[in-house]
Chains A and B, each alone.
Chain A
Amino acid sequence: MAQSRLSRRKLLRTTALGAAAVVAAPYVRGAHAAGRLSIGFWDHWVPGANDTLTKLCQEWGEKEKVDLQIDYITSQGNKNLITIAAEHQARSGHDIIQMPTWEPLDKADALEPVDDIMQKIIAENGAASEAAQYLGKSRGKWVAVPATNGSQVKPPVARISLFKQHVGWDPTTAYPADGTNEELAEKWDWNMFLAAAEKCHKAGFPFGVGLGQTTDSVDWVGAVFASFGAQLVNEKGDITVKSDETRQVLDWFKKLVPFLPNDVFAYDDASNNKWLVAGKGALIMNPPSAWSVAKRDNPEVAKDCWHFATPRGPKGRYSPGLPYYWAIWSFSPNKSAAKSLLVHLSKLSSIEKMVAASNGYDIPAYAKALDFPTWREVGPPKGTVYHYPPRGKQIVSLAAAPAPPKIAAQIYTQATMTKMVAKCTQGGQSIDQAIAWAADELEGFMRT
């Protein structure tokens, strides 16, 4: 039998020497010593906004020695919602994923709590808005960090010349770049919106407001519902769709639809933008992305655009909101790096860069981050986005609120409100039939 050349004594000596060498060796930090981090960000509509975000992440990655993999996922065709749902089901995917509105609460069971970093962020940036807290906290704990990029409202964007000529009302006078003409602004309610829609339709420039199934349509229809006081489900989870308020709001939509283009029911989030940029319509409900694209593709239209407050309804002036969040999946293998990156992106200096890169599109959630010069300065026309962030008595509307998150997420995803409008307008059903249909659908959403 051949004898092993490695004796027990020799083995022990070699092992001890090896271990000592490892302990004593100087720590050499590689380029990506802190591992990898994959992020699924929402793909911005404003040209160039993604580049600034990438740069901010890369600065952090180089400093912290983390290898970054960034994917920009579009909300066109709800691709971001599909990706979130697929990763949630598969318990696999990005470390950080950007989620809109109800998604953090709906997927709270699969998210890493971020209370620890939110305390630091709030201490630096000031309190988070009520809307951001409502959708970002589950049982009093933050489950996701309010994102700056993508967080938006969808107020009216109108063509100044067309409004002056055909409506006889100048949005730049009612909502100038340095304040609000309260008297003129007071007249701006949903009835006036209806009258303006009729006049612009007759003039050949109909309003391009969507009634499809994607966020732009759902958000603005949700704001109209809220401003009429129509709730589908209350905060306790009771179905409250059968109400006079719902009948009133549907009746209002029945009056509006004949003045809209005949394919608004097929609109996605790009359709209304194209409508405005092509110079076909007098108004859309949108963040400044349509105007930003028009600056590049149709500068004459861009110069003629003005963003201003959402019309007032019987229950108040509700601005259609769509807050975004950065969430860390609980299955992420690199949670500490993910948290560190989110703290970096939530610094006031980072937020200011994102707001500037998006031409004021991104609306931060924090009190100290709402007075950057971008909203006053960008143009042309200068001051066009001054009234884009909700000012004065405006309330940020969250479509499907105040329903419990699991039900609200269903109402939002399945676009129940826009379908109700479509049923009693294009579908030829009565308002009561549309309400009965919605009640049946809502009953289905109560499944546990």
Chain B
Amino acid sequence: MAELAAEAVRVPAGVRHTSLQKFMRRRSTIAFAMTLPLIVLIVALVIYPAFYSMYLATLNKSMQRFVGLGNFEFLFRRATFWMVVKQSCIFAISAVFFKALIGFFVAHFVHTIPTKGQRKWRGMLMVPWVIPTAISTIGWFWLFDPSYSAFNWLLGKFGVDPVPWLGHPLWARFSVILVNVWYGAPFFMIMYLAALKSVPEQLYEAAAIDGANWFQRLWYITLPMMRNIIAITVLFSLIVTFANFDIVRILTAGGPVDQTHVFATWAFLLGIQGNDIPLGAAVSLFMLPILGVSAIFILRGVRRRTIEA
């Protein structure tokens, strides 16, 4: 024992130091250390709550008894639940479609502006996206306000009857989608603009020599070159829009007659306001398979195109 201790003492201190230094200098170690704060955040704020909500979704209302998939079975028998599923799909798909469409065209317009003046246009067009949604949505609420709607005041000037922006199911759906599109289109615009700038100019020159018109250039050069960015932006936006809460909550709180509820607002109504946390958790978890399946399809397409390229 005493000999071993003596051996340990004899080992030069610098050798141990060097191995530690080597370990610390490994690229994988540095990468791990640098991403550790993010990993901790994701574990604490995403993974743990996700698993905890899965656990909650298996409990009864008073959270004292395990009911397995009983909450889901209960939900599937409710007409309101299927109405919320339908509304969430209408809301997310239509909002993402219009955001993508408007973002695409606006990006093209901005792309044609000379570089010198482009920055201020980019800045101005990003304003809806950078204002906190809660604040901008309150502004929209005042524009739609039942008694003092500024839109209705303007319409009144042209002799048009007031529109129940938030009081009729169809108008209320239109209003929440409109605000979501207004808020989200700049994100698409900036992503598309970045993609447009990375398309090599030579391709357009070659197409011009071949006599391609603007539509052919768009169809055969621009769109294929932007496909991956479009797919990833659509996926990201679809996830965020499906999980939207603030716009619907502030504008309509799910009304009238639950007809603008999306998963998040209905889960909140049942779970927090209705004091039925397990049922609320079950509603919010229902988004998971929908988003999971769409993510698999979209990312598979991106990967395939990357390999082909």
Chain B interface: which of A51-59, A195-203, A364-372, A419-427? A419-427
For window 18-74 of chain B, which residues contact chain A by CB distance below 8 Å?
60-62, 74
- Is A419 touching B148 in the complex (CB atoms < 8 A)? no
- Is B279 touching A447 in the complex (CB atoms < 8 A)? yes
- Is A89 touching B277 in the complex (CB atoms < 8 A)? yes
Pick from A85, A213, A447: contact of B253, CB below 8 A: A213
- Is B147 touching A414 in the complex (CB atoms < 8 A)? no
Is there a chain B Cβ closer than 8 Å to A275's Cβ? yes
Is there a chain A Cβ closer than 8 Å to B136's Cβ? no
Is there a chain A Cβ closer than 8 Å to B269's Cβ? yes
- Is A89 touching B167 in the complex (CB atoms < 8 A)? no
Distance in Å from the Cβ of B172 to the closest Cβ of chain A? 7
Pick from A81, A89, A266, A267: contact of B172, CB below 8 A: A266
Is there a chain B Cβ closer than 8 Å to A262's Cβ? yes
* Complex: A400 Cα to B286 Cα, angstroms: 31
Chain B 270-286: CB-based contact to A (< 8 A → 1; otherwise 0): 00111111010000000
Which residues on B sit within 8 Å (CB–CB) of A414? Answer: 269, 273-274
Distance in Å from the Cβ of A104 to the closest Cβ of chain B? 13
Q: Which residue in chain A gives the minimum CB-CB distance to B273?
A: A413
* Complex: A409 Cα to B273 Cα, angstroms: 10
Q: Which residue in chain B gives the minimum CB-CB distance to A276?
A: B147
* Complex: A263 Cα to B252 Cα, angstroms: 12
Is there a chain B Cβ closer than 8 Å to A138's Cβ? no
Which residues on B sit within 8 Å (CB–CB) of A115? Answer: none
- Is B78 touching A261 in the complex (CB atoms < 8 A)? no
- Is A274 touching B256 in the complex (CB atoms < 8 A)? no
- Is A280 touching B272 in the complex (CB atoms < 8 A)? no
Is there a chain A Cβ closer than 8 Å to B128's Cβ? no
Distance in Å from the Cβ of B274 to the closest Cβ of chain A? 6
* Complex: A106 Cα to B145 Cα, angstroms: 33
- Is A266 touching B255 in the complex (CB atoms < 8 A)? yes
Is there a chain A Cβ closer than 8 Å to B166's Cβ? yes
Which residues on B sit within 8 Å (CB–CB) of A264? Answer: 146, 167
Is there a chain A Cβ closer than 8 Å to B80's Cβ? yes
* Complex: A274 Cα to B257 Cα, angstroms: 23
* Complex: A447 Cα to B276 Cα, angstroms: 9
For window 251-265 of chain B, which residues contact chain A by CB distance below 8 Å?
252-258
Looking at B172, B255, B269, the one whose CB has the most chain A CB atoms below 10 A away is B255
Is there a chain B Cβ closer than 8 Å to A235's Cβ? no
What range describes how many residues of B lie at the interface? 35 or more
Which residues on B sit within 8 Å (CB–CB) of A88? Answer: 275
* Complex: A275 Cα to B250 Cα, angstroms: 20
Which residues on A sit within 8 Å (CB–CB) of B277? Answer: 89
Q: Which residue in chain A gives the minimum CB-CB distance to B144?
A: A266
Is there a chain B Cβ closer than 8 Å to A388's Cβ? no
Which residues on A sit within 8 Å (CB–CB) of B169? Answer: 426-427
Q: Which residue in chain B gives the minimum CB-CB distance to A85?
A: B272
Q: Which residue in chain A gives the minimum CB-CB distance to B61?
A: A447
Distance in Å from the Cβ of B260 to the closest Cβ of chain A? 10
* Complex: A267 Cα to B252 Cα, angstroms: 10
* Complex: A212 Cα to B146 Cα, angstroms: 11
- Is A263 touching B255 in the complex (CB atoms < 8 A)? no
Chain B interface: which of A27-35, A314-322, A437-445? A437-445
Distance in Å from the Cβ of A388 to the closest Cβ of chain B? 23
* Complex: A89 Cα to B165 Cα, angstroms: 34
A274-B148 contact given A262-B162, A266-B172, CB 8 Å threshold: yes
- Is B74 touching A444 in the complex (CB atoms < 8 A)? yes
Is there a chain B Cβ closer than 8 Å to A4's Cβ? no
- Is B167 touching A81 in the complex (CB atoms < 8 A)? no
- Is B167 touching A262 in the complex (CB atoms < 8 A)? yes
Which residues on B sit within 8 Å (CB–CB) of A192? Answer: none
- Is A265 touching B250 in the complex (CB atoms < 8 A)? no
Is there a chain A Cβ closer than 8 Å to B79's Cβ? yes
* Complex: A213 Cα to B80 Cα, angstroms: 16
Pick from A77, A106, A278, A409: contact of B148, CB below 8 A: A278
- Is A82 touching B166 in the complex (CB atoms < 8 A)? no
Is there a chain A Cβ closer than 8 Å to B108's Cβ? no
Pick from A86, A263, A280: contact of B164, CB below 8 A: A263
- Is A447 touching B275 in the complex (CB atoms < 8 A)? no
Pick from A82, A266, A440: contact of B252, CB below 8 A: A266
Is there a chain A Cβ closer than 8 Å to B168's Cβ? yes
Which residues on A sit within 8 Å (CB–CB) of B275? Answer: 85, 88, 106, 409
Pick from B80, B164, B274: contact of A413, CB below 8 A: B274
A86-B79 contact given A262-B167, A267-B146, CB 8 Å threshold: no
Is there a chain B Cβ closer than 8 Å to A448's Cβ? yes
Is there a chain B Cβ closer than 8 Å to A271's Cβ? yes
Q: Which residue in chain A gives the minimum CB-CB distance to B79?
A: A440
Is there a chain B Cβ closer than 8 Å to A78's Cβ? yes
Distance in Å from the Cβ of A99 to the closest Cβ of chain B? 13
- Is A78 touching B273 in the complex (CB atoms < 8 A)? yes
Distance in Å from the Cβ of A289 to the closest Cβ of chain B? 15
* Complex: A350 Cα to B197 Cα, angstroms: 70
- Is A422 touching B273 in the complex (CB atoms < 8 A)? no
- Is A266 touching B147 in the complex (CB atoms < 8 A)? no
- Is A265 touching B257 in the complex (CB atoms < 8 A)? yes
- Is A441 touching B80 in the complex (CB atoms < 8 A)? yes
For window 265-294 of chain A, which residues contact chain B by CB distance below 8 Å?
265-267, 271, 274-275, 278, 280
Which residues on A sit within 8 Å (CB–CB) of B147? Answer: 208, 271, 274-275, 278, 280
* Complex: A262 Cα to B165 Cα, angstroms: 10
* Complex: A276 Cα to B253 Cα, angstroms: 23
A440-B78 contact given A263-B166, A414-B269, A426-B168, CB 8 Å threshold: yes
The 5 closest A-B pairs by CB, nearest first: A263-B167, A266-B167, A265-B256, A266-B166, A263-B164
7 residue pairs bridging A and B, Cβ less than 8 Å apart = A89-B272, A263-B166, A274-B145, A413-B274, A419-B257, A447-B61, A448-B62
